[in-house]
Structure 1
Amino acid sequence: MQGDLVISADFGTSGVKVGVVDGELNIVARVTEPYPLSLAPGGIAEQNPDDWWSGLTRAITDLRKQIPDLRDRASVLVFSAQLCGLICADEKGEALRPCMTWLDKRASPLAQELIGGFPQVHGYQLFKLMRWLRLANGAPAKNGMDAASKILWMQRNAPDVMARTRWLVDAKDWLVHRATGVMTTSPESANLSWMMDSRPGRENWSPQLAAMIGAPLDKLAPIVTADTVVETLTPQAAAELGLNPKTQVLAGTSDVTAAALGSGEVEDGALHISLATSAWIAGFFPDRRLSVPNSYATVTSGLDMRPLLIASQENAGSALDWAAAITGSTQSRVEAFSDLGTALSDDPFFLPWLAGERVPVDNDALRGTFFGLSLHHNAQTVRRAAVEGIALNLKWAMTKVEREKSLLRNGALTLVGGVAASPQVAQMLADALNRDIRVGEARHAGMLGTATLAAATMGWADNPAQAAARLRGHTTAHYTPNPARVEALDTRARHLDKLRRTAVRSYMNSGIQT
């Protein structure tokens, strides 16, 4: 095909953002389609994979109305998606049950069993930990969110499903198969299953690590890099999407790699922050990095297997949505926090751990907490505390990450993700970190980053990183720290550090079931 456009789809937790992107990396048209997330007690957080595909078909139907000749002009379809999900698919690639999403923590007890034993270091059996660190540059999370623990849960609780399962895959993998009939997986998903050897030059499934979890190697899909052309659309997929069957489908990538590309920060050591439903600090590095005490590491990205540091926090936009809801706001996320008012001397502190935490403390039992609420505090106070709590939670993680060598510390820090569109949140983060903040394509960085994967196929650039570097110039807003607020937030951060330590100890020692 000789079309000039790329269709880029970024599948998040609450919906899919689909855009049509041209050779100048401009979004010609875009649409967002929501889909449900099923939450239940016990840490259950599931989605139906067919809902993702239905969202995509609705979105592309809308885009074809905006661009009537899209069928002939779209040469490439490429996906990015949430990580750490588990789909059990049969021989035809059909999901046998709902996807256990990254938010699903029901396997937490099995995670403890998987990693535990004597002697222990940081909650891990020493010799297991040494093997995981040497081969995979990390180890399964204690909170059960990784595929390794979810596979164990399936083996224990749904053996009939496991017996019928041909493929154990992540969200993006299922989508690519739905489009092409070919099952692949990304290096990020493989690495975060903790069954992949991530050592340079040896990036592939590890029989040794798979045996530790008890996962059959023949149920794990081939690992391919993000810009690989997998196949063209199947006739059925083409008909459902209304696209030319000759449209090429790329292997695609994770949401974190897509955001990294979309931020434009593709140089080694350059960090960015993504603020969406969750939050993360991320950046490419020249070699593998790891911090066991602080629960972050580099993972092998789909971008030529480059190590990508990810320090992920579980709650950001989700905590803001909660704060808006309990204070009676029916406005959009940005509008609900447009007027934070003036900080009071006794503003409450907020720990936004509404779904546990990952970095720098990996504990799914942690829960959100207000310190210092008074009768005179109102809805505006609570919303202000929520924004500050997210900013100071990120500051907490950043104090650990910024110890890494070869960081680029000069210039503005790039902020992307839907929450970055809020001026109040962006300014609070600038003040909390005492760092200039550059907001990139806030709501659409993932979509644009995903589109750069098609750069070589389309002839736009030699490789995705070269194309993504152009996005460094796509700045929508710039925020400079306010010296008075920097000093005030620094004081509050020191006070919160003491309260936080007490809160962490109380949850770890209380035996409270969440």
Structure 2
Amino acid sequence: MDSDCILAYDIGTTGVKTCLFQMTSSLTLLASASKEYPIQLLANGGAEQNPEDFWEAMRFTTKLVLSEAKVSNQNIQGISFCSQMQGLVLVDETFRPVRNVMSYMDQRATKEMKAGIEHGFKIEGINAFKLLVSLWITGAVAASVKDPIWKYKWVEKNEPDNFNKVRWWFDVKEYLIARCTNQAVMTRDSAFATFLYNSRKGKGNWSKFLCKLFGIRREHLPKLINAEEKVGGLTNEAAEYLGLKTGTPVFGGGGDASLIGVGAGAVSEGDTHIYAGTSGWIGTVTKRRTVDINARIASIVGSREGYYNYFGEQETSGKCLQWVKDHLALDEIDLYLEKKKITDGPDAVYASLFEFMFDSIRDTEPGSQGVIFTPWLHGNRCPFEDPKARGIFFNISLHTGKRILIRAVIEGILFHKRWILELSNTKVPTSKTIRFVGGVARSDFICQMLADITGKTIERVVHPENVGAIGAAAIVALGLGKIKTYEDIKRMIPVDKTWFPNPTLKPVYDKNFSVFKKLYKTNQKHFAILNS
């Protein structure tokens, strides 16, 4: 195939998905391939990954997509990344990691956070001076134990030998860019996620004052670039390893919180998208910096210069469905929703266990007979920050079966999205029609349930599971000059299907939702006792 192509690497929590796109007046997916890798969950709250796993997964999947599409590496006009964010990758002067990646899920820096921001006169539990200064300079504040500042400080305190080797502080994507180009850079959205970036209009640089305030070595922070900026070309070593051409242009790309919205086509002011993958969030494009400290929602720097995403995060979204599949539908003692293995034999009609699971609950009662599930299986960030919060099945009776429990889990995930959506709407109006993307959005059943629970019209784009890679590819197209504006991206991404809310279901969902919102407050101290 003789045509211009783009390689986009979606670097997720559980694996890499590599997508090969043909670039004409639109982006056409030619091939995709995935490779999973582990995450180590440690007893002290740590969550780590081996950075070599990312690099090896890129090599493996690159070979597969080029082979499947029968595309020569000579046709690759550019590569870029959409990546998990708020990881901490500390490397030496040769770009070799001094330790494993500390994932965004890492929660072990509680002491460092308390020492750094929870002393003195406080507002909402945060040192008043540091809160107000951070809000003024960055538009947000490092108020979560999972924020990269506290991971950095944890390494400084607990691993001094490793810390003394550090030359650069990267996020996951920036580490891979360095492996590709031997350049130390960071895109502005990644920089914002460190909460050391001055995001005021006309600034757009590292804040020397905040670095001094929090005890961060400014020399560890790399050069800042825009998402569509060309960093450099693949080095001989990287090109040989990946099976690509030396000098292939590498672009900045963006984090998942930036580029998934771009890939959803939510790029204009006021556009809202909902993402449901391993984690989840609500994002609305805005030109205003604003923050809701109580709800933990803030305007974060996106890939488009001068625009922000008003952003509220859900810690575990699709991950809850993975838990349901493994422990309710397909569990350790070999009990299934039906007394057969639906993937066995030539007559299997379901593409996946998830599809079978969703189909099996289609006739269950909306509202799950009053059973409510809280999707906080790994703590929560928004609208409350509590790493000790956990999942609850509330109001189970003798008549509650597995199918009702599974439906309750889906409803609980979507109730939490509604909660964030309604809180978001108080500061930045959300759009009446919402783009729903991520792997969970492949289910028509869940799309309709999301419309019913939120009362919003829901649109799904083509390939909703690949929107991060689509966003990264669109950024490359911008960088190469193949398209001129972000509005051009929106026109390139067609809507696959639309769902409208069923007003007859509003009373039951409103009733359950009103209880759902109260379950955290009534159990907060119990979580603290059980999970300390």
TM-score, length of structure 2 as denominator length: 0.92
1:260-292 C-alpha deviation (Å, 9 max, x unpaired): 101101111111101000110012211211111
- Residue by residue over 1:374-420, the C-alpha shift from the partner in whole angstroms, topping out at 9 and shown as x without a partner, is 23322212111100000101111111001124x3533x211001111
Q: Is the aligned partner of 1:135 residue 2:137? A: yes
1:139-154 paired onto structure 2 within 5 Å = 139-142=141-144, 144-154=145-155
Structure 2 CA distance for aligned equivalents of residues 335 and 401 of structure 1: 34
Say whether 1:103 aligns with 2:105. Answer: yes
Q: Match of 2:508?
A: 488
Match of 1:415 in 2: 436
* 1:445 CA displacement: 0.8
2:12 aligned partner, one-letter code: G
1:371 aligns with 2:391: no
2:310 and 2:517 mapped to 1: Cα distance? 24
The equivalences for 1:65-104 within 5 A come to 65-104=67-106
1:381 aligns with 2:404: yes
Could you say which residue in structure 2 is the equivalent of 1:232?
Answer: 233
Q: In structure 2, how many angstroms separate the alpha carbons of the residues matched to 1:236 and 1:149?
A: 34
Say whether 1:354 aligns with 2:377: yes
Q: Secondary structure at the match of 1:26?
A: strand
Contact 2:17 2:35 in 1 (8 A): yes
For 2:142, what is the secondary structure of its paired residue? coil
Partners of 1:345 and 1:261 in 2: CA distance: 35
Partner of 2:161: 160
- The answer to which of 370-379 and 497-506 deviates more is 497-506
Please tell me the residue identity of whatever aligns with 1:11: I
Shift of 1:186: 1.6
Q: Equivalents in 1 of 2:204, 2:356: separation in Å?
A: 45
Matched, 1:427 2:466: no
Give the equivalent residue in structure 1 for 2:517. 497
Asked if the contact 2:228/2:475 (under 8 Å) is kept, the reply is yes
Between the aligned partners of 1:53 and 1:117, the Cα distance in structure 2 is 40
Distance apart, 1:115 and its partner CA: 1.4
- Equivalent residues in 2 for 1:252-331 (5 A)? 252-329=253-330
Cα RMSD of the aligned pairs, angstroms, is 1.7
Kindly indicate whether the alpha-carbon contact (under 8 Å) linking 1:225 and 1:305 is maintained by their aligned counterparts in 2: no
User: Structure 2 CA distance, aligned partners of 1:333 and 1:35?
Assistant: 21
Say whether the 8 Å CA contact 1:298–1:308 is kept in structure 2.
yes
The 1:77–1:211 alpha-carbon spacing in structure 2 relative to 1, beyond 3 Å, is same
Mapping of residues 171-190 of structure 1, within 5 Å: 171-190=172-191
Report the CA distance between 1:511 and its aligned residue.
4.2
Residues 224, 302 of structure 1: 8 Å contact kept: no
Deviates more, 1:158-167 or 1:418-427: 418-427
Unaligned runs of 5+ in 1: none
Conserved 8 A contact 2:280-2:315 = yes
**Counterparts of 1:254 and 1:392 in 2: how far apart (Å)?**
26
- The question of 1:467 aligning with 2:485 is answered no
Tell me the amino acid that sits aligned with residue 372 of structure 2: F
Match of 1:210 in 2: 211
Deviations 1:77-117 (A, max 9, x none): 11110001001101111111110011111113322322112
Structure 2 residue 531 is matched with structure 1 residue 513 = yes
Mapped partners of 1:421, 1:40: distance in 2:
32
Kindly state the Cα deviation for residue 513 of structure 1 after the two structures are TM-superposed: 3.5
Instruction: Give yes or no for the alignment of 1:121 onto 2:123.
Output: yes
1:289 and 1:311 map into 2 onto residues whose CA distance is 12
How far has the Cα of 1:458 moved from its partner? 3.4
> How far has the Cα of 1:371 moved from its partner?
0.9
The aligned residue for residue 339 of structure 2 is: none
**For residue 284 of structure 1, what is the amino acid of its counterpart?**
V
Mapped to 2, the partners of 1:134 and 1:506 lie a distance apart of: 36
Structure 1 distance, partners of 2:200, 2:3, is 38
| TM superposition shift of 1:67 | 2.9
CA displacement, residues 61-85 of structure 1 (integer Å, 9 cap, x when unaligned): 1012123333111110111100010
Q: 1:408/1:373 Cα in 2 relative to 1: closer, same or farther (>3 Å)?
A: closer
Q: Does 1:7 align with 2:30?
A: no
Contact 1:452–1:467 (8 Å) recurs in 2: no
Distance 1:303 1:149 in 2: 28
Alignment deviations for residues 335-378 of structure 1 (CA, whole Å, 9 cap, x no partner): 32232232276341111101111111111111111111223322
What does the per-residue CA deviation read over 1:180-224, in whole Å, with 9 as the maximum and x for residues that have no partner?
Answer: 110111212211211111111111111111112211111111111
Q: Does 1:222 align with 2:223?
A: yes
Q: How far apart, in 2, do the equivalents of 1:193 and 1:132 lie? A: 11
C-alpha deviation, 1:40, in angstroms: 2.2
- 1:505 is displaced (CA, Å) by 5.1
Counterpart amino acid of residue 253 in structure 2: G
Alpha-carbon distance between aligned partners in 2 of 1:313 and 1:231, rounded to the nearest angstrom? 35
Q: SS at 2:82's partner residue?
A: strand
Instruction: Write the deviation string for residues 294-341 of structure 1: whole angstroms up to 9, x where unpaired.
Output: 111111223225222211110101111112211142753343223223
Question: What is the distance in 1 between the residues matched to 2:516 and 2:466?
Answer: 33
Output the CA distance in 1 between the equivalents of 2:478 and 2:238. Answer: 24
Structure 2 residues without counterparts, runs of 5 or longer = 332-351
Q: Structure 1: how far apart are the matches of 2:521 and 2:105?
A: 24
Q: Percent identity?
A: 28
Distance in 2, matches of 1:25 and 1:467, equals: 11
Q: CA deviation at 1:30?
A: 1.2
Q: Match of 2:170?
A: 169
Residues 329 and 467 of structure 1: CA distance in aligned 2, closer, same or farther (over 3 Å): farther
Say if 1:37 and 1:45, in contact at 8 Å, map to a contact too: yes
Distance 1:137 1:506 in 2: 33
Contact 2:369 2:404 in 1 (8 A): no
What is the rounded CA distance, in whole Å, between the counterparts of 2:458 and 2:303 in structure 1? 27
How far apart are 1:495 and its partner, in Å?
2.4
Q: TM-score, normalised by structure 1?
A: 0.95
Distance change in 2, residues 1:256/1:335 (3 Å): farther
- C-alpha separation between the residues in 1 aligned to 2:36 and 2:496? 25
SS at 1:309 equivalent: strand
Q: Could you tell me whether the CA contact under 8 Å between 1:427 and 1:480 is conserved in 2?
A: yes
User: What do the CA deviations read for 1:419-468 (whole angstroms, capped 9, x no partner)?
Assistant: 111222222211110111111231111110110101234332113x1332
Which residue identity does 1:450 align to in structure 2? A
CA distance in 2, matches of 1:345, 1:15: 33
What is the identity, as a one-letter code, of the residue corresponding to 2:101? C
Aligned positions, number: 506
Shift of 1:251: 1.2
Distance 1:228 1:496 in 2: 44
